[in-house]
Every structure is written in C-alpha cells, then in structure tokens.
Amino acid sequence: MKIMVAIKRVVDYAVKIRVKPDKTGVVTQNVKMSMNPFCEIALEEALRIREAGLASEVVAVSMGSSHSVDTLRTGLAMGADRGIHVEYSASLYPLSVAKILRKLIEIEKPGLLILGKQAIDDDCNQTGQMIAGLLNWPQATFASKVVLDKEKQVATVDREVDDGIETVCLNLPAVITTDLRLNQPRYATLPNIMKAKSKPIKKFTPEELNVEIKSDLEIVQVTEPPKRKAGVIVSSVDELFDKLKHEANVI
Amino acid sequence: MATRVLLGAIKKRTVSFPAFPGPSIYRHGSTLVVVEHEGGVIKPPSLSALAAATCLPDPDSSVSVLLAGSGSSLHQAASHAASCHPSISKVLVADSDKLKNPLAEPWAKLVHLVQQSGGYSHIIAAANSFGKNVMPRVAALLDVSPITDVTGISDSNTFVRPIYAGNALCTVRYTGANPCILTIRSTSFPVPQKSVDSKSNEASISQVDLSTFDEDLSKSRYISQTSQDNERPDLGNARVVVTGGRALKSAENFKLIEEIAKRLGGAVGATRAAVDAGFVPNDLQVGQTGKIVAPELYMAFGVSGAIQHLAGMRDSKVIVAVNNDADAPIFQIADYGLVGDLFEVIPKLLEKLPEKK
C-alpha cells in the first residue's frame, strides 16, 4: 500500500506575524517559513506505518510557489520516498487543494491519505474533510492514534473530540487528519538531508492535471485584532484579590 | 478600524435579540442551521449557531433547523428547537439509526440531501469538533468553499474570521453559488439568557424524507467514545476559567487549579504542555488547536503565554496571570499580573476564596 501525505509551507509557528499596512494580508517576505507542524505529524505517522511494514511507499505532496520544493525536501529528508510538487503562484483555497489532490490520487492510487488537521496560517481545518468528500472516502479527523489492520484493510482511529476521545473504524482507502498528540515528529539528520537531494520530485501544474482553479472567496481586508489595554502588575495576593473583587467585579 | 466598529455593533445586536414578531412570510430557501442535541435539548454551541443565523442581515430571511438521530430524545430536542427562537420557522427532523452517532459520512450526505430539497442560501453550524468535521465535507459535496470559525458577520456574504492563531482578522467575501457554508465561533455569538416569549410562535416540525438516503455505512463505523467525567461547568461556556501550565509540575499539583476553579464555580483549562505531560486530559486544552474560550475571568497559573495558547483565550474579559517569570509573554495581555511562585500564591488565594457550598 502507498501512503500519500500532503504538506504545506507556512510561516514558522514561533514567528510573531505582522499585518501589511495596506491590509491586503500578512507580511511573508523575509519571514522564516517551515513545514506546517500538523503536516510534520502527518508525515511522521506515514513513516511509522511504513517502518512497521504496513506500507510500501510514502509520497509527499506540496502545492504552491517554487519555494514549496524546500518544504518537500524537508519531508524527503525526514524519510518520504518521493515528492510531488504542484506549482501555482497565487494562493490556493482548500477546495482547490482538495481538487488537485483528487487528481493526484487518481494517478497515484494510494491506500491512505494523511494530512494535518489544519494549517497554522489560514486556520481553515477543511482540506482533509473536503478531499474525503470529493472522493467519497471515509474520514477520521483530529486523529490521536491510528491502528492499521492490513488483513482487513481497515484503520481504527482515536479522534480528539470536544468531550474526550472518540474511536472510529474506517475501510481503506481513507483520509486521516492528524492532531498534535498523534506522535512526536523526528528530526532530519544531516546524512538524510544530503540523501534527500537526490530523491525524485515530480512536477505538475494545475493545468496539466486538468484542474481549474476558480475561487468563490475573496479577501476584503486583513487587519490587526483589537489591542488589549495595558494591565497592571500587583504586588501581593491580597492586592490581586482586592482588585478582582472591587475593581473588576469578577469574583 | 471600521471592521472593529462593525463587529462591535454586530456583537451588541446578538446580545439583545430584536423581538421579531416571528417571520410573517416564509421564504423558501434561506438559512439552515445544523444542530446537535443531547438529553432532549439543543447543545449550547448549536444555540450559538442559531444566534449567528439570526444575525444575517436579510430582513425576510427565515431560519430552519436540522437535527438528526433517533429515539425519544430526538423528538424532545425537536420541540426544544421549535421554541428556541422566534425567527425559527421550521424544524427538520431526520430520524434514522444511521445518524445516531456523529459520523461525518452520513451527516454530510444528510445535509446535502436537505440542501437539495431546501435550496438554502446559508448553512451554519458551530465550529466545534462536530461542525469542523462535517461541514467542509458537505461543502465539497456541494462544490463550494466553506468559511470556518467565523467571529463576525458584516453582511450576508461578508464575514470576519481570525487567521494566524488570532493574530490577524481576515474579512472574506463569499462570491460563489448557494449555499454559503459557515461554521461559527461560539464565543463570538452569545446566546441570550432568555429568549423572548417563545411559546406564542412555535415553529413547525417536519420529518426529513429519508427514502433516498442511501448512505452506505460500511465505510466507517462508530466504535466508542470515552468522555471525561466532568462535574465542572463546560469549558467552552464557563463564566470563569482557571488554567494551569507546565509549571504545575504534576497531575497531583493540578488539583490546586481544580480547587480554585471549584471555589469560583469555573471550569479548568490547560496548556498544551500540561496536557502533553499527562497532568490533564486533552479535552481541557485551550488554544489555537484546542478550545477557544472567552470567559468573564481567565486565570492563568504557570502559563508562559505562547502564541498558540493566547489564540484560545485572548478575548476573555479579564485576564489574570500568575507566573514567576516577569518576562513571560502572558503578562503583556494580562489585566492583572502577579509575579510569584504559584505554589505560594495559590494557597494564599485559596485562603481568601470562600468554600462553595
């Protein structure tokens, strides 16, 4: 079985972002970019499944500008066997990403597609669910544990839901999106980074895949959230208690 | 700035529901709200979704409610939905064993089916684990882009949603075909304490025709759910939230946080570090990837204030931080900060807080 993993290049999670003065978006020039943390977890899970002998190959896919190739290389250095890059310079919304993924899945025919539960830039939390819907595959979102049964061709997945953990069982092929607690992603070692340079990356454009990118959303503006007024540092528990009781009236 | 003013206005409007006399004209095809129910009543996040639906500024829009499941609690919940809000004109009930559990596959098919016969302009659900799981799948089936985690409604096609862990607000306009699919952030659409004279205009309840509902259930099966026994108020709706971070050091010490929460009648929250260290279960995590809260009072003990945590609580009314590191980022957004060792501060605080009966 082949596993496909979708990875996204985003502004590094530790960067304090700045909104552009013209309100068209967020400054991404000269800002540290990294693989989306949830995508790292997705890739790690695929690698572990392969290492357990339950999958033969892990294919990493990324879409976006030519810089996305760097992110793919990181994925290859972690251990993915090969990469696919779909080049598109403008921003892609989840619906388009899902449509491109559908085409790639028709070509590659993986038995499992793993994605992060959300990208930390747009915070959409949509792509996995949408591709599952387009393919009519079952989905398990927010996974914190995945157990594959190769014989029965099913995946049993623990999902992090609002009030605890829910367990579902899916027939393969299926779509899984990862939550933070699924695993601890590995670091790419230097020898593996070197090796990754010779791993193949296939290139496509949306036109070649016959996917029409049309968007039904437009960004009107991006603004900073309202600032909170400055707070005070109190010197003792007594003062804190007093302020909460008589100034803020919350206890 | 304009957005902010607008947002403020919208928020205000949500709080004080205009006392509609009830929709006089039923316009076929308006807003559908997909709700969850439990124990015969609509769950609080779904009530927020209903509140959001009534914010859509279309004067003669009507709101239909869809709920599904089986058994007597479904029908109890249906009558609760019917008298929930005066602008609800129709309650659709899908009674099927296939919809007993919150699986995305049958639910997405159901909403798709209901949309095909209802032709709604908007479909709304709460941005909780159910809504996030189901609604994007529905959108894909209908070939439209969904808009998730909406915090403000400017007009029927323009919405505000936070991006980059809440460090920017993005206003998006939906230009696609019907329906416009939204999930809403519950804390941004508060539910009024008591809805206006509800009995006088109860909505009609009708069954969804499921004769063409052929969802093949073999593809995914619900196995079980382990939920934490929680006698504390629900984290998402609590008036007070008391949160502990890694500095608590152990699950045993976390009981101190629980004790403060208990005495304030609040809910317990945690940072990712505290959950990963096994102090508390994952469903207490507050942040970008956990729960989003906006209580009256948020008390953070031993929480540094990473971007990802702030994303989940920055809209709290009053924020209190106790940390021994005076440079911790949490102090930049706290209304009241106390630099000190939480193992000294908490016992003193407990002395001052009266025992709750």
Residues B195 and B271 in one domain: no
Residue that is last in its domain, among B184, B207, B230: B207
Run of H or E including B276? helix B272-276
Task: Give chain B's domain count.
Answer: 2
Tell me how far apart the alpha carbons of residues A249 and B319 are, in angstroms, rounded to a whole number. 13
Using the beta-carbon criterion (under 8 Å), do A141 and B281 form an inter-chain contact? no
Q: Are residues B156 and B248 in the same domain?
A: no
In a shared domain, residues B200 and B268:
no
Q: What is the pLDDT of residues A26-63, one digit of tens each?
A: 999 999 999 999 999 999 999 999 999 999 999 999 99
Provide the shortest C-alpha distance from residue A75 to chain B (in Å). 23
Tally of structural domains, chain A? 1
Q: Residue B138 sits in a domain of what CATH number?
A: 3.40.50.620
Structural domain includes residue A91: yes
Of chain B residues 123-142, which have a CB less than 8 A from chain A?
128-130, 132-141
Tell which B residues from 324 to 343 touch A, by Cβ distance under 8 Å: 326, 331, 333-339
Q: What is the CA radius of gyration of chain B?
A: 21
Tokens read off for A108: 């590659």
**A187 is a domain residue:** yes
User: Is A144 an interface residue toward B (CB < 8 Å)?
Assistant: yes
Reading chain B (357 residues) residue by residue, the pLDDT tens digits are: 445 555 444 444 444 344 443 333 333 448 999 999 999 999 999 999 999 998 887 766 789 999 999 999 999 999 999 988 888 999 999 999 999 999 999 999 999 999 999 999 999 999 999 999 999 999 999 999 999 999 999 999 999 999 999 999 999 999 999 999 999 999 999 887 765 555 556 889 999 999 888 877 789 999 998 876 667 788 988 999 999 999 999 999 999 999 999 999 999 999 999 999 999 999 999 999 999 999 999 999 999 999 999 999 999 999 999 999 999 999 999 999 999 999 999 999 999 998 764
Structural domain harbouring B265: 240-352
pLDDT tens for B321-336 read 999 999 999 999 999 9
Contact B169 A224 (CB under 8 A): yes
CB contact under 8 A, B170 and A95: no
Q: Is A125 on the interface with B (CB under 8 A)?
A: yes
Give me the CATH number covering residue B336. 3.40.50.1220
ipTM computed for the complex: 0.96
What residue type is B117 in one-letter code? Answer: S
Return the beta strands (E) in B228-355 as ranges: 240-244, 267-270, 297-301, 318-323, 336-339
> B200 at the A interface (CB within 8 A)?
no
Q: Which residues of B are less than 8 Å from A181 in CB distance?
A: 275-276, 282
| Residue A241 domain-assigned (yes or no) | no
Asked if the structure places residue A122 within a domain, the reply is: yes
Alpha carbons A10 and A67: distance in angstroms, whole number: 11
A126 in B contact zone (CB under 8 Å):
yes
Tell me the average pLDDT across A168-194. Answer: 96
- Say yes or no: B172 and B271 in one domain: no
Return d(Cα A228, Cα A163) in angstroms, integer. 31
DSSP state, B291? B
Taking the Cβ of residue B6 and every Cβ of chain A, the question of whether any pair is shorter than 8 Å is answered with no
Among the three residues B190, B207, B224, which one is the final residue of a domain in this structure?
A: B207
Binding site annotation covers B271?
yes
What is the distance in angstroms between the Cα of A24 and the nearest Cα belonging to chain B?
9
* AA letter at A116: G
CATH number at residue A204: 3.40.50.620
Q: Which residues contact B29 (CB under 8 A, 6 or more apart)?
A: B118, B119, B120, B121, B178
Q: Which of A60, A42, A43 is nearest to A101 (CA)?
A: A60
Query: Could you say which of B207, B223, B251 is where a domain stops?
Result: B207
Among A142, A163, A180, whose Cβ lies nearest the Cβ of B272?
A: A180
| Minimal Cβ distance to A98: which of B140, B281, B333 | B140
Residue B142 within any structural domain of the chain: yes
Determine if residue B323 is labeled as part of a ligand binding site. yes
In a domain, B293, yes or no: yes
Q: Does residue A250 lie in a domain region?
A: no
Subunit contact A240:B336, Cβ cutoff 8 A: yes
Residues B82 and B183 occupy one common structural domain: yes
User: Do both B248 and B156 map to the same domain?
Assistant: no
Q: Where are the beta strands (DSSP E) in B96-130?
A: 122-126
- Test mutation, B282, B286, B307, B317, chain A, max A CBs within 10 A: B282
Domain co-membership, B170 together with B40 = yes
Domain that holds residue A59: 2-224
Residue A237 lies in a domain: no
Q: Do A171 and B132 touch (CB under 8 A)?
A: no
Q: How far apart are CA B348 and CA B357, in angstroms?
A: 20
At residue B197, the pLDDT reads: 52
Q: How many CB atoms lie within 10 A of CB B269?
A: 31
Buried b (16+ CB within 10 A) or exposed e, A149-180: eeeeebbbbbbbbbbbbbbbbbbbbbbbbbbb
Q: Tell me: do B49 and B166 sit in the same domain.
A: yes
CB atoms under 10 Å from CB of B55, counted, come to 20
Q: Return residues 53-112 of B near A (CB < 8 Å).
A: 102-105, 108
Q: Supply B89's token pair.
A: 């004109």
